[in-house]
């Protein structure tokens, strides 16, 4: 049981680490366009994202997939940027007709983020082929951290839309624009030539 908490905490603190805020930015723009009333869509998107990064975490840990960390470090901010742009272009519009595309894209972006998690996980544990149970414990920690981030975003959304009377469209535009402003330096710093 003690080992469970070690790997769980490793996943939890990795996502919530101030220096690894890229994952928080992605989750923020992923759910920025939703409210508590749309919890099914939020749970669906976060679950699909989790499935994607868990699959790639396992594949990378067992050396089935191997992608250069510099490419992954460049692709992660790209996923954030694309998701934020999507929000800018679809804010205030009914996205139900494009939900399957959003789910597929989120799964793909989850795979990219999972490869980033695998680099961290393998550098921390120091070995490939780690037991599947340890990988799942780490993934559970990541999932718990994701739920914390999503809950905070939804609470802030509720506060700004209910108390400060932001429209849902304006909230989505402001949050997505802020995230784009934060992710551009990450893109520049990780640019591949």
This prediction has a pTM of 0.92
Whole-number Å distance between alpha carbons of 104 and 113: 14
Q: How many domains does the chain have?
A: 1
Read off the pLDDT band of 25 (50, 70, 90): very high
Burial class of residue 18 in the structure, from the number of CB atoms within 10 Å of its CB (0-12 exposed, 13-18 middle, 19+ buried) = exposed
Residue from 104, 130, 105, 102 nearest 117 by CA = 130
Q: Tell me the per-residue pLDDT of 53-69, one tens digit each, with 9 for 90 and over.
A: 999 988 988 889 999 99
- What are the φ and ψ backbone dihedral angles of 17, each rounded to 5 degrees? -70, 130
Indicate the burial class of 185 (C-beta count within 10 angstroms; 0-12, 13-18, 19 or more): exposed
The whole-number pLDDT of residue 126 equals 67
pLDDT band at 189, cuts 50/70/90? very high
123-145 pLDDT, tens digit each: 777 666 667 888 889 989 999 99
pLDDT digits (tens, 9 = 90+) for 65-83: 999 999 999 999 999 999 9
Taking residues 25-47, report their average pLDDT.
Answer: 93
Q: Which domain holds residue 15?
A: 2-189
Mean pLDDT of the chain: 90
- pLDDT for residue 135: 87
Contact 145, 18 (CB under 8 A): no
pLDDT grade, residue 18 (50/70/90)? confident
3 state SS for the chain: CHHHHHHHHHHHHHHHCHHHCHHHHHHHHHHCCCCHHHHHHHHHHHHHHHHHHHHHHHHHHCCCCCCCHHHHHHHHHHHHHHHHHHHHHHCCCCCHHHHHHHHHHHHHHHHHHHHHHHHHHHHHHCCCCCCHHHHHHHHHHHHHHHHHHHHHHHHHHHHHHHCCCCCHHHHHHHHHHHHHHHHHHHHHHCCCC
* Average pLDDT, integer, range 7-29: 92
Contact 54, 62 (CB under 8 A): no
pLDDT at 151 exceeding the cut of 70: yes
Q: Say if residue 166 is exposed, middle or buried (CB neighbours under 10 Å; 0-12, 13-18, 19+).
A: middle
Of all residues in the chain, what percent carry a pLDDT higher than 70?
A: 94
Model confidence pLDDT, tens digit, residues 171-187: 999 999 999 999 999 99
pLDDT range class, residue 109, cuts 50, 70, 90: very high
Residue 100 is predicted with a pLDDT of 83
């Amino acid at each position: 049981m003690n080992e469970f908490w070690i790997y769980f905490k490793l996943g939890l603190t990795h996502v919530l680490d101030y220096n690894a805020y890229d994952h928080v930015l992605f989750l923020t723009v992923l759910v920025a366009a939703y409210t508590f009333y749309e919890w099914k869509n939020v749970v669906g998107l976060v679950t699909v994202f989790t499935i994607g990064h868990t699959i790639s975490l396992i594949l990378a840990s067992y050396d089935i997939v191997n992608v250069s960390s510099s490419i992954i470090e460049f692709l992660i901010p790209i996923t954030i940027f694309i998701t934020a742009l999507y929000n800018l272009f679809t804010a205030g519009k009914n996205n139900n007709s494009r939900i399957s595309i959003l789910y597929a894209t989120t799964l793909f972006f989850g795979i990219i983020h999972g490869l980033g998690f695998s680099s961290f996980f393998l550098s921390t544990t120091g070995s490939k082929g780690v037991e599947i149970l340890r990988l799942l414990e780490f993934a559970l920690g990541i999932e718990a951290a994701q739920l914390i981030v999503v809950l905070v975003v939804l609470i802030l959304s509720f506060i700004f839309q209910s108390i400060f009377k932001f429209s849902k469209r304006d909230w989505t535009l402001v949050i997505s624009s802020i995230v784009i402003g934060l992710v551009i330096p990450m893109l520049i710093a990780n640019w591949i030539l």
